[in-house]
Amino acid sequence: MKQKRILFGLACMSLMVSCADLDYHEYTTYDKNYVFTDFDRTAGVVTDIYSFLDSDIPTDGSLCSACDESEYAWSWSSVFGYTDGRWSPSNPYSRWDFAGIRRANFFLTEYVNADFSELKYDKDYEAEMKRFNRYPYEVRFLRAYFYFNLARAYGDVPLITKVLTEDEANQVTRTPVAEVFDFIVKECDAILEADQLPVRYSDLVGDAANGSSTDGGRVTKQAVMALKARTLLYWASPLFNKENNSGLWRQAAQANKDVIDFCTANGISLGKYSEIWGTNNWQAGEMIFVRRVGDMNWPETTNFPVGMENGNSGNCPTQTLIDAYEMQATGLAWDEPGSGYDQTDPYAGRDPRLAMTIAVNGDKWPDTNPNPLETYQGGRNGLPLAGATPTGYYLKKYLDKTIDISTSTGSGSTRHNWVTYRLGEFYLNYAEAVFNYLGSADATDGTFTMSAVDAVNVVRSRSDVNMPGFPTGLSNDEFTEKYRRERMVELAFEGHRFWDVRRWKDGASQRSIIEMQITKNGDRYTYNRVPKSRYWDDKMYLFPIPDSEIRKNPNLTQNPGW
């Protein structure tokens, strides 16, 4: 279809799906009457909308290396644009993507005219109709989810819920972010009120999804609740809640409590931390919504250590992150008096999540590496080898330690899944929200009977973590510091840290990272923390709107500072 490019592809929503922007795979040459008269073709349209769900499994360009979680080992990576001052409207690292929203709007406009009357005598007609009747609620969730991702990145964005003509698309304006968040919350409430989505698809009876693995990864009731809860937390946060409206914090606390209570009532509970990633992590007990990304080995080839065959290095955890892991015996930070930290053996006695997440000098990692890691200067996996870790560490989390990436005996690919929502996040979200609403870490009331400290301690008490609980009596500053460390540790490399420092307006923390320089002297190692500066400007709390989009539509205004 020949048509000039316009605002983020929002236009070109004609009545025919032959428009190139509507990329419906094998359905692209057919019109709506063809798509919405066959169950499989309609299912294909919905599956296509699901394909716009995001993931950030660590690779080149992952946001973990655009914040203080990690540092990318190769200087050519585009991710350095976030931290060296190159980021700009003409170099926008754009997330200004409305393609999923455009497809969702098309579906929600046209599905009401679907006609499956010719199929009514098929034996599975009734079961397929049950599945079809859920689709509008799944798609409304997906559209709301896409809008959340846009709002957290850009703030005010055009809120469009209908099919647009080209002229309409070229004249849209940005909607205040509070209205976008409010739309997301109301959509979630409406979906929940309709009560059409299950807790588990395998529990459905007389339904096309009953017991079908092909319906794994679809939107559930608890996923809708999770989107609402996360949205309200962001809305209440300093970046978007400039007047610190306590009512927003209360709504966030209530929504996150609702997630916790619903999960408790439906058998969704915290398990082992080590079960959060891996081929079957979608089956872990605390999972709320997981995207099945696919079978691959590129996370391993990207991040396995330099110095082993085909290991390319990649996202290397920073000492800044390592310092967030407290001492297990005392629950104190490494630099607090009486913590028990030993500078000659810096990884001994630490929070067990460190060893699960990060590979340190001397580790046997991965299983297919024939030698223990040598990340010290001059070591087998250390500088000055090209691409060796600049921080002294390699990544474990989200990687399959059993994959063989060698040329001769490579073991192929394994399934990787991105955790969109899991229960551990919502205990932490609740803790943050109730702390800010009630004003102290120990406070409770008639509605919120679990204090912020209590909620954090649930997460720290996992069977394979078993960290000491936060004590009562913490000052607000002390709780905030410990909470932010806990969140950095618990949610490491799950796509939170980059956004957390922005919604907290804690950009100053991103002006430097710490690397660990390790030297070997005989059988002894010396560990030296080395600061490395990074660029930060407060305009970076929000993304720049691409210049190319503003040229297409002068009604779009740029974010402050860009």
Q: Per residue in 51-94, pLDDT tens?
A: 999 999 999 999 999 999 999 999 999 999 999 999 999 999 99
> Could you tell me the CATH number of the domain that includes residue 434?
1.25.40.390
* Overall number of domains in the chain: 1
Which DSSP state fits 495? T
What is the model's pLDDT at position 212? 53
Rounded Cα distance, 397 and 492, in Å: 8
Q: Is the pLDDT of residue 504 over 50?
A: yes
> What are the backbone dihedrals phi and psi of residue 528, each rounded to the nearest 5 degrees, phi first?
-130, 120
**Amino acid (1-letter code) at residue 166:** E
Q: Is the pLDDT of residue 4 over 60?
A: no
Rounded Cα distance, 233 and 223, in Å: 15
What is the model's pLDDT at position 32? 83
Asked if residue 503 belongs to a domain, the reply is no
Q: What is the pLDDT of residues 153-191, one digit of tens each?
A: 999 999 999 988 888 888 999 999 999 999 999 999 999
What is the model's pLDDT at position 215? 61
Which pTM was predicted? 0.93
SS3 of residue 12 by DSSP: coil
Cα 19–Cα 16–Cα 103 angle in degrees, nearest 5: 65
pLDDT above 90 as % of the chain: 88
Range of the structural domain that residue 289 is part of = 231-297+413-490
Q: Is the pLDDT of residue 11 over 70?
A: no
Asked if residue 250 belongs to a domain, the reply is yes
Asked if residue 218 belongs to a domain, the reply is no
Q: Is the pLDDT of residue 233 over 80?
A: yes
**Higher pLDDT residue, 28 or 527?**
527
Asked if residue 238 belongs to a domain, the reply is yes
Q: What is the pLDDT of residues 29-52, one digit of tens each?
A: 457 888 899 999 999 999 999 999
pLDDT above 70 as % of the chain: 94
Q: Is the pLDDT of residue 16 over 50?
A: no
Asked if residue 84 belongs to a domain, the reply is no
Asked if residue 448 belongs to a domain, the reply is yes
Confidence of residue 18 (pLDDT cuts 50, 70, 90): very low
**Is the alpha carbon torsion for 22, 27, 30, 34 positive or negative?**
negative
> What are the backbone dihedrals phi and psi of residue 521, each rounded to the nearest 5 degrees, phi first?
-130, 95
Residue listed under structure tokens 């609620």: 137
Rounded Cα distance, 498 and 496, in Å: 6
Q: Is the pLDDT of residue 515 over 70?
A: yes
- The predicted model gives 251-268 an average pLDDT of 98
Q: What is the pLDDT of residues 358-413, one digit of tens each?
A: 999 999 999 999 999 999 999 999 999 999 999 999 999 999 999 999 887 777 78
What is the model's pLDDT at position 210? 59
Q: Is the pLDDT of residue 508 over 70?
A: yes
Q: Within 10 Å of residue 551's Cβ, how many Cβ atoms?
A: 10
Asked if residue 293 belongs to a domain, the reply is yes
Asked if residue 547 belongs to a domain, the reply is no
What is the model's pLDDT at position 408? 77
Neighbour-count burial for 411-425, b at 16+ CB within 10 Å, e otherwise = eeeeebbbbbbbbbb
Q: Regarding beta strands 287-296 and 414-422, do their DSSP bridges make them parallel or antiparallel, or are they unpaired?
A: antiparallel
- Residue spans of beta strands (DSSP E) within 174-309: 287-296
